[in-house]
Amino acid sequence: MSGDLNIPDAPVIEGAEHLHSGKVRDLYRMVSGEHAGRLLMVASDRISAYDFVLDSTIPDKGAILTRMSLWWFDQLASTVPHHVVSTDVPAAVAGRAVLCEELAMFPVECVARGYLTGSGLLDYRATGEVCGISLPAGLEDGSRLPAPIFTPASKAAVGDHDENVSYDAVVGAVGAETAAALRELTLTIYGRAEEIAREQGIILADTKFEFGARSDTTIVLADEVLTPDSSRFWPAAEWEPGRAQASYDKQIVRDWLTSAESGWDRASGDRPPALPESVIAHTRARYVEAYEILTGEKF
């Protein structure tokens, strides 16, 4: 276990060395075989809510999100190069891992927002701005922004919150030319993805990308992309600014955890209880549904 996040020890994978575990994914580097030197990014079935990695897992979540991310990389291939090299991964993690090229990651979470909610909404309410971008008065939770905005965040250590930063801070971290390229790429990719999701009746409210550089300085889209863990997806039919929008995936979990039935007091600081089978099954069905609606493919 690491800290009170309750991240389980990463499984041993033959031919790979473990590098890092986040809330949901485990990162390895292949040390032998055809793909020696490649990174192995494994998506577990872990789910987090209210800043806890829950004791319950959601069966197939890792596989669903891996397929969703791969589908998006494919959709975006003419827009931006991506880091995935192969899905021919060790058998122990088949279907929920990818092999990718190791990049020099930029220390910036590249967030695009087309709608106002979450930390963007909090900043707006406090200052009228998000990441130094001033927005019109009168926006509410869930409002569509006049145009999508680039709202970078600094990458926090595991368990800490990412912190919204100004564009100037990105310039300070990576230089003016790279900052401009990251902003441009982020908004272009968001725009394309938002359009694709909208055609399926899903609002892509916001999303986070991570980019890295090849040794020849080419900027490459990395990490996972456009999954419910890195994005907010809302059913367009239920969108109504002025209230919290139902999230596509975790709403069932959040609603149950904060209901009397769970017996959990969020303010207590205690770990949340395990989820009942019905909540797990319902949540799994939502991930499958999100995948199938977006991609038009059966899971």
C-beta of 235: minimal distance to Mg ion in Å? 25
DSSP three-state, residue 206: strand
Name the residue nearer to ligand ATP (CB basis): 39 or 93: 39
**Which residues, listed in sequence order, are joined to residue 234 by a DSSP beta bridge?**
203
CB 285 within 8 A of CB 279: no
Kindly report the backbone phi and psi dihedral angles of residue 168, in degrees, each rounded to the nearest multiple of 5, phi listed first.
-60, -35
Name the residue nearer to ligand ATP (CB basis): 145 or 208: 208
Interface with ligand ATP includes 158 (CB under 6 A)?
Answer: yes
C-beta of 29: minimal distance to ligand ATP in Å? 9
Count of H helices and E strands in the chain? 6, 17
By rule CB under 6 A, what string of x and - marks binding of each residue 8-47 to ligand ATP?
------------x-xxxx-x-----------x--------
CB 19 within 8 A of CB 42: no
Buried b (16+ CB within 10 A) or exposed e, 227-263: bbbbbbbbbeeeeeeeeebebbbbebbbebbeeeebe
Interface with ligand ATP includes 80 (CB under 6 A)?
Answer: no
Kindly report the backbone phi and psi dihedral angles of residue 246, in degrees, each rounded to the nearest multiple of 5, phi listed first.
-65, 130
Give the footprint of Mg ion on residues 12-51 (CB under 5 A): 22
**Which of 210, 231, 262, 279 touches ligand ATP (CB under 6 A)?**
210
Interface with ligand ATP includes 249 (CB under 6 A)?
Answer: no
Task: Give residue number: closest CB to Mg ion.
Answer: 22
Name the binder of 210 from ligand ATP, Mg ion, none, CB < 5-8 A by kind: ligand ATP
Name the binder of 246 from Mg ion, ligand ATP, none, CB < 5-8 A by kind: none
Interface with ligand ATP includes 161 (CB under 6 A)?
Answer: no
Q: Which of 233, 239, 246, 248 is nearest to 282 (CA)?
A: 248
CB atoms within 10 A of CB 174: 19
CB 220 within 8 A of CB 110: no
By rule CB under 6 A, what string of x and - marks binding of each residue 94-133 to ligand ATP?
------xxxx-x----------------------------
In total, the chain counts a number of residues equal to 299
Q: Report the interface residues with Mg ion, using CB under 5 A.
A: 22
Q: Report the interface residues with ligand ATP, using CB under 6 A.
A: 20, 22-25, 27, 39, 83, 100-103, 105, 158, 210, 212, 222-223
